[in-house]
């Protein structure tokens, strides 16, 4: 696991990797750096198959168990806690949360939720999201071939406490073309800023709910 905790961090994000790259992938490193600049600590971790350098991805229960291990480790830092990750890592986190609430996790953030395989549009992978009872943030690109926004938007509209942030011209890796007038680094900075604002709002909303609950006792 790799903990990046900037001075004065206001929350921690347990950040899982995608199916084809581990926790040291340049994208995740750059995202962790950008989040640190926003006051967000990150705990990056790897699934067993990636640690063991196997090609075959672990079964879902194994992946979900690793999510829980990482969340428990992250919780020891004593910061408001969020979880999620890139592509498959985010989806395994939400599956784990839907089965049994992850201890202390205030919200889930998906960096490119993989709604369906490339070239095979569908929404089956989103069915479990109805069982998630914490706020969710979806960071999605308009050119993501694993998440047709025309399919994703209606799914999210049926859920509660969901925020969708769309990045124009970004693909599943959040790469943008030169003609967009932007750089990949600028996009990563945008992702970090959006996450930080959402996390601050979620923490604030939680404090308000707790105050109201205490006042009604």
Strand order in 81-86's β-sheet?
2-4, 40-45, 11-16, 81-86, 105-111, 136-141, 162-167
CA 145, CA 115: separation in Å to the nearest integer? Answer: 9
Q: Where are the domains of the chain?
A: 2-215
The superfamily (CATH) of domain 2-215 is: Alpha/Beta hydrolase fold, catalytic domain (3.40.50.1820)
Please, what are the averages of pLDDT over each run of 10 residues along the chain (217 residues)? 94 94 93 97 95 89 96 95 96 95 96 93 94 96 95 94 95 93 94 96 76 53
* The pLDDT value given to residue 213: 53
Whole-prediction pTM: 0.89
């Amino acid at each position: 696991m790799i903990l990046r905790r900037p001075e004065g961090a206001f929350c921690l994000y347990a950040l899982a990797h995608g199916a084809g790259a581990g926790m040291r992938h340049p994208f995740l490193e750059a995202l962790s750096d950008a989040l640190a600049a926003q006051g967000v600590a990150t705990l990056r971790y790897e699934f067993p198959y990636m640690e063991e350098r196997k090609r075959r991805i672990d079964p879902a229960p194994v992946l979900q168990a690793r999510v829980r291990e990482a969340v428990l480790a992250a919780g020891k830092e004593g910061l408001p806690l969020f979880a999620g990750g890139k592509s498959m890592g985010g989806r395994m986190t939400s599956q784990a949360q839907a089965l049994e609430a992850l201890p202390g996790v205030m919200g889930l953030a998906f960096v490119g939720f993989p709604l369906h395989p490339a070239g095979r549009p569908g929404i089956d992978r989103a069915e479990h999201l109805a069982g998630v009872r914490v706020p969710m943030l979806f960071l999605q690109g308009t050119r993501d071939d694993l998440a047709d926004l025309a399919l994703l938007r209606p799914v999210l509209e049926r859920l509660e406490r969901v925020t969708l942030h769309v990045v124009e011209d970004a693909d599943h890796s959040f790469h943008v073309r030169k003609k967009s007038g932007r750089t990949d680094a600028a996009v990563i900075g945008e992702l970090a800023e959006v996450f930080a604002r959402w996390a601050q709002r979620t923490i604030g909303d939680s404090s308000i709910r707790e105050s109201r609950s205490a006042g009604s006792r």
